[in-house]
Each structure stands twice: as structure tokens, then as C-alpha cells.
Amino acid sequence: MTDSNPEQKDFRYKNQIPSLLGLVELALKFQGQKKDLQEYSLEAIRFINRFFPEITDIAIYMPDSRSGNFELLIDRISNRKLASTELFRLGDGHTWDVYLSGFSRLIPNLGQDPYFTAKDVLPGGDGSYFCFPIEQSNLKRLGVIAVYSKDPFFFDEHACIVLGKVSTLLGMALEMFYSIREAVEKSFRDELTGAYNRRFFNEHYDHEYYRHKRYHTPYGILMLDIDFFKKLNDTYGHASGDVVLKKVSDSIQSSIRKSDTFARWGGEEFIIFLPDTNEQNAFLVAEKVRRSVEELYHQKFPELEFLKSPVTVSIGLSAFPSNCEDKAEMINFADSNLYKAKRDGRNRVVAG
């Protein structure tokens, strides 16, 4: 749609009510959803496709919740050549600039933009572009939305306002989503160590056990216990014991994969679920964990200066299906091996 076609533009202004009513509908949909980030984003894209069919290319970017890396969450880019231009390119394009600055970027006519005409990088040389941030109520940025239309000057005041409201509604929905997820996450975490609690592990293990059994894929379980922890508590006090628990937990979590599940089993005892891991590889993980804990003493952490000798852990391992196939037996087998490790002198891994 161009300035040279006033009749179409007048018609468009007279038909703004449906998109405004659609915002109400979109808000209600967001309130009723309890899904993931992609589903919320898809709902926003459906709205844009419905009320702005002239927008042919859409992409939504958000930082990864674990790594923090800025990533393309979902896109509906019909012209894949656009994806390699600064309009949609990840990392050094307009999307990244908008995310960092928090300021929207509007290019009314790409065919007249000096940068793009000089580089001749835009297929067709025409079209219009709008990129705007997704923010929650405290103005913390959650991501950006980038949209492109083949029509120059398409993004007039009405389009920008409505798309901005889509971003606002999406930001509010995601803010609620993150709040609920954080609350649920906290309910499954051990307050002191940050590891998952026993309740979460049991529920997660139920699901994973049946998945591995169905597809005949291996997994491992590690049971860990901090050696002489009662003596440490009696010698230095429970506050110092809590410091040791937290540092050991941090060390273990840094030694395993994101896909592994680490939980506090009780007291000074921990458990790790290793999906898609055979006995040999599970043993290597266990040894890595054991060494990382022992190394804490030599890393000279100020909060561990009271220690006179290294903290160590004993580890028992069980592997599915090489050791046993029953769900409960797997944990019992690992626990039995843990006690063998302690009887055999501690600071070791026992498997098989």
C-alpha cells in the first residue's frame, strides 16, 4: 500500500475497528493460555496475519532462558533471502539493536533508504520494515518482533499503534508466564543448594523411566554422599556445613549437562539422573563430579578457608538396563553401591 493510492488508504482507516476489537480477543486468549513461549508467540503471529495480511514476513526473537543468548524463537519469513539481511539477521542486525536500545525502528520505504540502496541487499528494492521491543511492566525487555511488508509506507500510525499493542499484550502475557514458572520452579527447588528437591526428582524420574523403557535407551543414576559430613558439622557448626553443601552442589551442577537432573535426596545426600547414558559414560560423569568436589579445597574459596582438608564425596552408580530394569531397583542399586564406596574407603565411585 503506497501514498499514491489514497482510496485504499482511506478504506483502511475506515476499517480499523476490527483490529482494535481483535486486540481484546488477543488479550483474552493470552489470559486463558498456560502454555510455552512459542504458543504465546504463535498467537501474536496469528493476529498479525489475520488483521495485516500485507505483512508477509514476521520474526520474534528472545534471549534463551538458560544461556541468555539472543535467539530466533519463531518466524514466518516467506522470502528467505530477507533472513540474511540486517532486517532479520541474528546477532548484528536491527533486531539486536532494538533489543539493546529498547527503541523501535521504522523504515518506511526500503527502496529509498540510503543504506539498503547502496548495498543493494534487499530483494526487489522496495517494501517497509518495523521492529519493536517486547517489554514487561517494569520495562525489562523480553525480546523483539520484526515485521516486513512488500508495500512501501505500509506502517502508518494505525499499524504501528496496533502492532505496539500486540507487543504490550505479549509482554504482559510473558511476564505472567515467567512469574508462574518461577513460582513453580521454586516449589521444586531446595532452598539452600538450588538443586531440585526429592519430590520433583521422583515425578521427573517416573516420566523418564517409562520413556527410556519404551524406547530401550540407557540411562544412569548416581547417588552421592558427602564424606564425614556429620564430623564437619560437629567441628565447624551447621552454618559452615550449609556453606559446604552449597559449594558442593554448585560444583556438581557445573560438572553435569543441562539435560541431567540433579536433586538433593536428603541431608548431605544427592542424586543425579543421566538420560541416554550408558554405564561406561555414567562412570566417567561420576568421576568428573567426584574430582570437581575434591578440587574445591585447592581452589581457595574464601568461604571455605575454615577447612583443613578437602571435602570429598562417595558415589554409587546404577545403569539401565545393564544393572537392572526395575524403576525402584535402579535407585536401590545405586544406593547399595554408595554404601560400598563408603565401606571401601570413601572418595570413590562404585559401579557394576
Q: Give the residue numbers marked as catalytic.
A: 268
Burial class (CB in 10 A: 0-12, 13-18, 19+), 143: buried
Helices (H), 15-135: 17-32, 37-51, 94-101, 114-119
Which residues have a Cβ under 8 Å from the Cβ of 93 and sit 6 or more positions away? 85, 86, 87
Comparing C-alpha atoms, which of 149, 164, 158 is closest to residue 53? 149
Question: What DSSP assignment string belongs to 192-242?
Answer: TT-SBPHHHHHHHHHHHHHHHHHHT--EEEEEEEETTHHHHHHHH-HHHHH
Residue pair 98/147 in contact (Cβ under 8 Å)? The answer is no
Cα separations in angstroms, 80 against 44, 85, 200: 21, 10, 42
C-alpha dihedral over 322, 327, 333, 334, to 10 degrees?
Answer: 100
Which residues have a Cβ under 8 Å from the Cβ of 286 and sit 6 or more positions away? 222, 315, 317, 349, 351
> Sign of the C-alpha dihedral, residues 12, 15, 21, 25?
negative
Task: Provide the greatest CA pair distance for the chain.
Answer: 88
Question: What DSSP assignment string belongs to 60-90?
Answer: EEEE-TTT--EEEEEEEES-GGGGGSTTT-T
Residue with cell 488479550: 27
86 phi, psi to nearest 5 deg: -70, -10
Residue type present at position 22: G
Give the span between the Cα atoms of 20 and 176, in whole angstroms. 23
